[in-house]
């Protein structure tokens, strides 16, 4: 009797895995399938902060000058009283510590606006472009400035008065950097709004060389990272959503099993789970069962 029961159990287990692997390949990318389990880990997320390896402004009126050691960064439109007043900001960050395959939830470039020259630049739009060729702050000049992507990544409006942070949302670019879709040469910020007169609005920002308050007011890149790890998930879910290689759902009564070191957790209703990459199991509109590369949103 015991032998028969064991045989039935093994058969049922094989059927479950076979059905799981079969269903995986046929429900609109809701689940990913693989014969291998890479690792067992926790459902991880976190915010990482990166400071520039390079930041500088390039000055059209000083085409061979380098400002890599300056403590401030000046920005202005090309068209002042004459048409040679352009100053642009360049930033580069080393984010190689983020592993390929990590899920980038958001990424924001932030710089501190502390002062202006001549006219108040409040309300002026500053545009950000991804840089497409290499450069470094110790040698770059206006005449050796790097190339830019054709399309704007983001824009931000100068605050009403100094003493405030400005932000640009760069999530798509950072995803491309992490996944190796684009080379990471950083970004350039420009004032492309025509001025055409004297007293050109020129906002000033702290560079990474500014050390009066440590890192408190220097530029930084903030990235919210979801780093998925292999886990055994089973239980009820809802609000299943599959987009490309990413599947998300809300846990209703979802269990999570980790083997080394052993732990067992239950996620309650309202907690959102993301599944990405390879896995072995089944996810329907109401139930998840199997091994998946997962992260808690």
Q: Can you give the pLDDT at residue 53?
A: 98
Q: What percent of the chain has pLDDT over 90?
A: 61
Please state the rounded mean pLDDT for residues 167-190: 97
Query: What are 253's two structure tokens?
Result: 């009564």
pLDDT in tens, 35-77: 233 333 456 668 899 999 999 999 999 999 999 999 999 999 9
Separation CA 278–CA 79 (nearest Å): 53
Q: Can you give the pLDDT at residue 120?
A: 98
> Which residue in 60, 58, 69, 204 sits closest to 140, CA to CA?
58
pLDDT in tens, 94-136: 999 998 877 888 999 999 999 999 999 999 999 999 999 999 9
Query: What are 199's two structure tokens?
Result: 């007293």
Q: Can you give the pLDDT at residue 259?
A: 67
Q: Where are the domains of the chain?
A: 2-43+228-296, 47-225
Separation CA 236–CA 290 (nearest Å): 13
Q: Can you give the pLDDT at residue 8?
A: 37
Q: Can you give the pLDDT at residue 4?
A: 44
Task: Let me know if 171 is exposed, middle or buried by CB neighbors in 10 A (0-12, 13-18, 19+).
Answer: middle
Q: Beta-carbon neighbour count of residue 44 at 10 Å?
A: 15
pLDDT in tens, 200-241: 999 999 999 998 888 899 999 999 987 777 788 899 999 998
């Amino acid at each position: 009797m015991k032998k028969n029961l064991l045989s039935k159990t093994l058969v049922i287990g094989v059927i479950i895995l076979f059905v799981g692997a079969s269903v995986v390949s046929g429900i609109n990318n809701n689940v990913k399938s693989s014969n291998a389990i890479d690792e067992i880990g926790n459902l991880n997320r976190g915010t990482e902060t990166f400071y520039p390896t390079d930041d500088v402004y390039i000055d059209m009126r000083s085409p061979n000058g380098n400002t890599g050691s300056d403590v401030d960064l000046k920005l202005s439109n090309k068209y002042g009283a004459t048409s040679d007043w352009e100053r642009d900001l360049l930033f580069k960050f080393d984010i190689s510590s983020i592993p390929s395959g990590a899920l980038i939830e958001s990424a924001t470039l932030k710089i501190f606006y502390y002062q202006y020259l001549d006219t108040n630049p409040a309300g002026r739009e500053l545009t950000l472009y991804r840089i497409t060729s290499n450069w470094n702050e110790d040698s770059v000049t206006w005449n050796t400035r790097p190339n830019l992507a054709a399309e704007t990544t983001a824009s931000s409006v100068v605050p009403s008065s100094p003493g405030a942070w400005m932000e640009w949302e760069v999530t798509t670019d950072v995803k491309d950097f992490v996944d190796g879709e684009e080379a990471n040469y950083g970004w350039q910020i420009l004032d492309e709004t025509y001025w055409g007169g004297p007293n050109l609005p020129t906002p000033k920002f702290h560079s990474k060389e500014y050390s009066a308050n440590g890192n408190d007011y220097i530029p930084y890149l903030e990235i919210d990272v979801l780093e998925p790890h292999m886990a055994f998930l089973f239980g009820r879910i809802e609000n299943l959503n599959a987009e490309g290689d990413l599947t998300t759902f809300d846990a209703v009564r979802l269990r999570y099993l980790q083997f080394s070191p052993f732990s067992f957790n239950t996620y309650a209703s309202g907690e959102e789970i993301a599944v990405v990459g390879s896995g072995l199991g089944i996810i329907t509109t109401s139930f998840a069962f199997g091994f998946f590369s997962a992260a808690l949103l």
